[in-house]
């Protein structure tokens, strides 16, 4: 608002308040001045936001993104997935394999629908079920595998079988809880023991899918090859042509999911770092098309990554668009000094001169804003009510 507008407002106030006492008129005018100052400041803040993110493109007609709706849907769906996976494990422990098979089918349908319709669900891959990490690991892995499968153009039936298999690859680990809770790396003897979870998992799959022979054989193959590497450096030395792209997709997704979550003996790795690690260090470990499919779907800066913009702001990636993977929707969390601000969302597609200038490491976040860092770590734990 210009000063002459403000003076005009004050003149009207003087005329309207002619019958008021002097003190009342002064108080009323002071309130109006404060109100107008507030409006001017709000206008400045909004304009500063526009300036901070460089030249804005002409507005395109697109469906506005409503994070509140996306969060509510994803939260409800993910909660149902976690509960369903817990049920599956309980059925297996009770030897109720028919019930486990039905629950797996239901969970597969839910995951399949979400990864096809709701990419925002990838923000929930950050969660870890603290009491039993197998629960969140199995759900998260299946979401990733399902998403990659659809992204690569696999049909519904193949994707469905891959999701089911991903839910099952670590069921054999339920027999080794004492080992996977150790707060240190496995020694050689322990590592040889833990490898037995593959055979145990296939035995469990035999019982769950006893009446679906074709599906049982498919799941067994995925479980058997989920820890193999293209160069033969996996559990049992299978390599090259012995492995199919579907085995490698599950194996890559398994590595990503494991690295991005805390384990008793190490902290989690940043999501963009993990994608970078797979690209840099796994060219011989995984089949090239499987790596390409993984990266194209997950993107360089996966959902929930904390990154820094070229303007200095610290933001969280909340929605990627694989066709323009370096220009996602982001939520501004902190200024360039790592001081928290009122969060707001921008679409980097609207700001062509603004770009992501790398990820923020956990170490830097902990040093620059320890309170925010602690909140982040706590927010990654799935709290079971």
pLDDT in tens, the chain (385 residues): 444 455 555 555 555 555 555 566 566 666 665 666 666 666 655 555 655 776 676 666 677 899 999 999 999 999 999 999 999 999 999 999 999 999 999 999 999 999 999 999 999 999 999 889 999 999 999 999 999 999 999 999 999 999 999 999 999 999 988 877 777 788 888 888 888 999 999 999 999 999 999 999 999 999 999 999 989 988 999 988 899 999 999 999 999 999 999 988 889 999 999 999 999 887 789 999 999 999 999 999 999 999 999 999 999 999 999 888 899 999 999 999 999 999 999 999 999 999 999 999 999 999 999 999 999 999 999 986 5
Angle between helices 288-298 and 271-281 (to 10 degrees): 160
Non-local (6+) Cβ contacts of 303 within 8 A are 119, 120, 122, 123, 125, 317, 318, 319, 320, 328
pLDDT of residue 206: 98
Identify whether the C-beta of residue 223 lies closer than 8 Å to the C-beta of residue 165: yes
Q: How far apart are CA 263 and CA 259, in angstroms?
A: 9
Q: How far apart are CA 51 and CA 46, in angstroms?
A: 9
Q: Which of 305, 327, 302 is nearest to 316 (CA)?
A: 305
Q: Which of 316, 334, 335, 328 is nearest to 354 (CA)?
A: 328
Which of 67-71's residues contact partners 24+ apart within 8 Å by CB, and which partners?
Answer: 67/120, 67/318, 67/331, 67/345, 70/118, 70/120, 70/319, 71/120, 71/123
* Strand partners of residue 106: none
Stated pTM of the model? 0.86
Q: How far apart are CA 68 and CA 66, in angstroms?
A: 6
Identify whether the C-beta of residue 144 lies closer than 8 Å to the C-beta of residue 125: yes
Which of 266-274's residues contact partners 24+ apart within 8 Å by CB, and which partners?
Answer: 267/362, 268/362, 268/380, 270/305, 270/306, 270/359, 270/360, 270/361, 270/362, 271/301, 271/302, 271/304, 271/305, 271/359, 272/300, 272/301, 272/302, 272/305, 272/307, 272/358, 272/359, 273/359, 273/361
Q: How far apart are CA 293 and CA 70, in angstroms?
A: 25
Beta strand pairing call for 329-334 and 314-319: antiparallel
Rounded to 5 degrees, what are φ and ψ at 115?
-70, -25
Identify whether the C-beta of residue 77 lies closer than 8 Å to the C-beta of residue 110: yes
Q: How many residues does the chain have?
A: 385
Non-local (6+) Cβ contacts of 280 within 8 A are none
């Amino acid at each position: 608002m210009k000063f002459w507008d403000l003076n005009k407002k004050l003149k009207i106030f003087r005329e309207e308040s002619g019958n008021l006492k002097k003190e009342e008129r002064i108080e009323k005018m002071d309130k109006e001045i404060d109100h107008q100052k507030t409006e001017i400041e709000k206008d400045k803040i909004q304009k500063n936001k526009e300036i901070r993110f460089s030249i804005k493109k002409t507005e395109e007609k697109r469906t506005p993104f409503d994070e509140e709706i996306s969060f509510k849907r994803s939260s409800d769906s993910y909660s149902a997935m976690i509960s369903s996976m817990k049920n599956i494990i309980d059925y297996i422990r009770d030897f109720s394999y028919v019930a486990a098979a039905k629950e797996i089918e239901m969970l597969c349908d839910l995951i399949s629908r979400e990864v096809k319709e709701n990419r925002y669900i990838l923000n929930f891959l950050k969660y870890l079920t603290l009491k039993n990490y197998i629960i969140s690991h199995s759900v998260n892995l299946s979401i990733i595998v399902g998403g990659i499968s659809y992204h690569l153009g696999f049909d519904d039936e193949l994707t469905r079988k891959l999701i089911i298999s991903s839910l099952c690859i670590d069921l054999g680990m339920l027999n080794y809880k004492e080992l996977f809770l150790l707060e240190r790396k496995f020694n050689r003897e322990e590592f040889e023991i833990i490898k037995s979870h593959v055979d145990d998992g296939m035995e469990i799959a035999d019982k769950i899918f006893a009446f679906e022979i074709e599906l049982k054989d498919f799941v067994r193959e995925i479980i058997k090859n989920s820890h193999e590497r293209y160069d033969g450096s996996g559990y049992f030395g299978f390599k090259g042509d012995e492995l199919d792209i579907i085995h490698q997709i599950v194996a890559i997704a398994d590595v990503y999911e494991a690295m991005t979550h805390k384990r008793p003996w190490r902290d989690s790795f940043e999501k963009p770092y993990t994608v970078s690690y797979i690209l840099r260090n796994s060219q011989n470990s995984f089949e090239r098309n499987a790596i390409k499919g993984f990266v194209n779907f997950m993107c360089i800066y996966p959902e929930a990554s904390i990154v820094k913009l070229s303007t200095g702001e610290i933001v969280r990636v909340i929605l990627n668009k694989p066709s323009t993977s370096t220009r996602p929707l982001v939520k501004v969390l902190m200024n360039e000094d790592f001081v928290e601000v009122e969060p707001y969302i921008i679409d980097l597609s609207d700001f062509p001169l603004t770009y992501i200038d790398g990820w923020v490491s956990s170490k830097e976040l902990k040093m620059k804003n320890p309170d925010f860092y602690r909140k982040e770590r706590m927010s990654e734990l799935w709290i079971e009510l």
